[in-house]
Amino acid sequence: MVTISKITREYIDVDFSFEKHPVTKNVSIKKNVTSIKQSIIRLLTLREGDKPFHPEIKSPIYDFLFENTSMVMKIVLESEIRKYLEVYEQRVEITNINIIFSNPNEIQCHIIGQIVNSTEPININVLIDRLR
């Protein structure tokens, strides 16, 4: 008799706030959904030069901040974000990306997906705006 068990993988990342855990006094960690959300938000807010020695890792959103907003730009940006996340965040399968140009100075990005090898959905909202 062969028993097939469901293999689930736990995703663990360091919490980017670097707060101390109250009991262990080590750096806090984030698990599963919160870990992946933190990673995606970090990837989407990376600017050129934020990753030393890796200039290819930068968010495509900042390239579109100063462009005229149109339906074509929305489709192109959604495609660029999907390709970017498929390369650098492989723990999630993106099902939908919705871009909203609420005003000329900001881009709202809503990402819906599902964690690989899990049924947990993931819903992320990122707001990118330009500062003067």
Q: Let me know if residue 72 belongs to a domain.
A: yes
pLDDT in tens, 9-50: 777 777 777 778 788 878 878 887 888 888 899 899 888 888
Q: What CA–CA distance (Å, rounded) separates 115 from 91?
A: 6
Q: Provide the domain limits for residue 73.
A: 12-129
List the CATH number of the domain containing 34: 3.10.450.40
In the predicted model, is pLDDT for residue 83 greater than 90? yes
Q: What is the pTM of this model?
A: 0.80
- 130 Cβ contact list (under 8 Å, min separation 6): 65, 66, 105, 106
pLDDT in tens, 44-55: 988 888 888 888
pLDDT value for 5: 47
- Domain count for the chain: 1
Q: Let me know if residue 3 belongs to a domain.
A: no
Hey, what amino acid is at 83? K
